[in-house]
């Protein structure tokens, strides 16, 4: 496969951007080789600058449930751009999207739009601290919540330990306020809340972990989080930036029947444009300015292009039985992949919730970050590059989710399964 033009662009990019990229994982550091540069995309396929076509299971890291350049989203964005791309003033589009979000997500009565998932989470934490008058935040090792200072803190394994900054540039007095626990360990949560509950402003969790690969919550885990936070007067924050509108219209909270106090959204609700949102009950949300005194603002917040795309996205999701379709397609793919690994004797753990899935190259049961770290990342590296050579594009890291769209055809899925057999076989030798 020729990647000459990508290679030239990568050299140019490295001169003017750190690592040649605007988001680290795009640099292919954990899989070796050079990143491909994309020229265009349509439906389930992306096309690089050398003209290579790939079946895409990244989907822009989650937003593209209806694939790339869906005609109705393109039309809505085009139409809106002709009427202006940003006003710095209110529009009806914002209300429409807010109404759809409020309708769909059980915990949200009032919602504030921002520009990214990171911004949504940062703002939600500030709100939780402002609302409770407390400083401490609890999170889980291996959960990613964007790059806000409070959350880029390494988790200690086992018992909760006081955080030390894992990333230079984060002030220690902030990092110390972030407590880390192992995902899926309800006992550790109860112990921590028994000791420190009165100081905890919020516990934040990806209700289905998606940033260490996909790890579903154990039965009862989310319920424990709900009980313990409630008892302690702390807020429960679900970071549904990936799961919101992907696993169901109401997100993971609808799926599992556990309602948090604040929900963070992003990715899908922008239909592929930059967006984020956080919402909750009116009593909590009314602490945000201009009603309350917790300040949060944004020049491009509620941007008309993003709102136009988001509105169509949520319409598309409510019009069809897309979740059944996603389930069917994802099941077809994952059972094919699983059969391959069995036939070839490759130790692999498969996890999936609807259209988000992972295959972990380990013989350990995966339930948290500790177990995920047992994966054979060298094997993954060879597998990834094998797939790429077969024109299949998955996330360039063992610890990322795969995403199915509603328009991947059965044919493309079967092609992927065949390619994966070859890539696994090649990775074995």
Ligand X SMILES: *Cc1c(COP(=O)(O)O)cnc(C)c1O
- Cβ-closest residue to ligand X? 117
Nearer to ligand X among residue 118 and residue 178 (C-beta): 118
Nearer to ligand X among residue 185 and residue 400 (C-beta): 400
Range 221-228, long-range pairs (CB < 8 A, 24+ positions) = 221/184, 221/186, 222/256, 222/258, 223/258, 224/186, 224/189, 224/190, 225/186, 225/189, 225/258, 226/258, 226/259, 226/260, 228/189, 228/190, 228/193, 228/197, 228/203
Nearer to ligand X among residue 148 and residue 304 (C-beta): 148
Q: In sequence order, what are the beta bridge partners of 162?
A: 179
Nearer to ligand X among residue 146 and residue 402 (C-beta): 146
Nearer to ligand X among residue 189 and residue 242 (C-beta): 242
* Residue 267 a catalytic site member: yes
Sheet containing 110-114: give its strands across.
110-114, 276-280, 262-266, 235-239, 200-205, 136-141, 178-182
Per-residue buried b or exposed e for 143-179, using 16+ beta carbons within 10 Å of the residue's own CB: bbbbbbbbbbbebbeeebeebebeeeebeeebbebbb
Q: Which of 144, 278, 323, 383 is catalytic?
A: 144
Nearer to ligand X among residue 116 and residue 340 (C-beta): 116
Q: Considering the complex, what minimum distance in angstroms separates the CB of residue 62 from ligand X?
A: 7
CB atoms within 10 A of CB 199: 14
- CA distances in angstroms from 59 to 87, 214, 402, 405, listed in the order given: 29, 16, 9, 8
Residue 161 CA to residue 168 CA, distance in Å, equals 19
Q: Considering the complex, what minimum distance in angstroms separates the CB of residue 148 from ligand X?
A: 9
> What does the block give as tokens for 126?
């500030």
Q: Considering the complex, what minimum distance in angstroms separates the CB of residue 185 from ligand X?
A: 19
| Interacting residue ranges for ligand X, rule: CB under 6 A | 116-118, 121, 144-146, 206, 210-211, 239, 241-242, 266, 276
Q: Considering the complex, what minimum distance in angstroms separates the CB of residue 27 from ligand X?
A: 16
Contact 256, 207 (CB under 8 A): yes
Q: Considering the complex, what minimum distance in angstroms separates the CB of residue 210 from ligand X?
A: 6
Question: How many residues in the chain?
Answer: 429
Q: Which of 56, 239, 261, 376 is catalytic?
A: 239
Q: Which of 45, 100, 136, 267 is catalytic?
A: 267
Residue 246 CA to residue 253 CA, distance in Å, equals 12
Q: Considering the complex, what minimum distance in angstroms separates the CB of residue 306 from ligand X?
A: 12
Instruction: Give the SS3 label for residue 251.
Output: helix
Catalytic residue set? 144, 239, 267
């Amino acid at each position: 496969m020729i990647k000459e033009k990508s290679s030239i662009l990568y050299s140019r990019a490295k001169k003017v951007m750190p690592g040649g990229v605007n988001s680290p994982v795009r640099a292919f550091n954990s899989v070796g080789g050079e990143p491909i540069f994309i020229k265009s995309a349509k439906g389930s396929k992306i096309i690089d600058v050398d003209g290579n076509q790939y079946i895409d299971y990244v989907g822009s890291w989650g937003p593209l449930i209806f694939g790339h350049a869906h005609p109705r989203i393109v039309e809505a964005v085009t139409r809106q751009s002709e009427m202006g791309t940003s006003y710095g003033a209110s529009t009806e589009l914002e209300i429409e999207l807010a109404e759809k979000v409020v309708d769909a997500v059980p915990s949200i009565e009032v919602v504030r739009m921002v520009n990214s998932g990171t911004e949504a989470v940062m703002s939600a934490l500030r709100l939780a601290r402002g609302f409770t008058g407390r400083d401490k935040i609890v999170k889980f090792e291996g959960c990613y919540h964007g790059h806000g200072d409070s959350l880029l803190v390494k988790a200690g394994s086992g018992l909760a330990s006081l955080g030390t900054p894992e990333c230079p540039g984060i002030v220690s007095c902030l990092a110390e306020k972030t407590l880390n626990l192992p995902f899926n360990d309800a006992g550790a949560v109860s112990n921590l809340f028994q000791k420190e509950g009165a100081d905890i402003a919020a516990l934040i969790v990806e209700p289905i972990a998606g940033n260490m690969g996909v790890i579903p919550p154990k039965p009862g885990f989310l319920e424990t989080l709900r009980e313990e936070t409630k008892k302690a007067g702390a807020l429960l924050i679900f970071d549904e930036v990936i799961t919101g509108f992907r696993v169901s219209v109401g997100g993971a909270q609808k799926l599992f029947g556990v309602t948090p106090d604040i929900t963070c959204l992003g990715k899908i609700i922008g239909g592929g444009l930059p967006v984020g949102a956080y919402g909750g009950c009116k009593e909590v949300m009314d602490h945000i300015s201009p009603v309350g005194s917790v300040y949060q603002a944004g020049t491009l917040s509620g941007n008309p292009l993003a709102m136009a795309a988001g509105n169509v996205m949520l319409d598309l999701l409510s019009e069809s039985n897309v979740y059944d379709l996603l389930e069917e397609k994802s099941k077809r793919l994952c059972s094919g992949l699983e059969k391959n690994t069995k036939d070839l004797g490759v130790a692999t753990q498969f996890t999936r919730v609807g259209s988000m899935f992972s295959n972990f190259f380990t013989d350990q049961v995966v339930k948290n970050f500790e177990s995920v770290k047992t994966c054979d990342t060298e094997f993954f590296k060879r597998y990834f590059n094998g797939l790429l050579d077969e024109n299949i594009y998955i996330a360039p890291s063992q610890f990322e989710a795969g995403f199915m769209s509603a328009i991947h055809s059965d044919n493309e899925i079967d092609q992927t399964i065949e390619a994966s057999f070859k890539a696994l076989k090649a990775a074995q030798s």
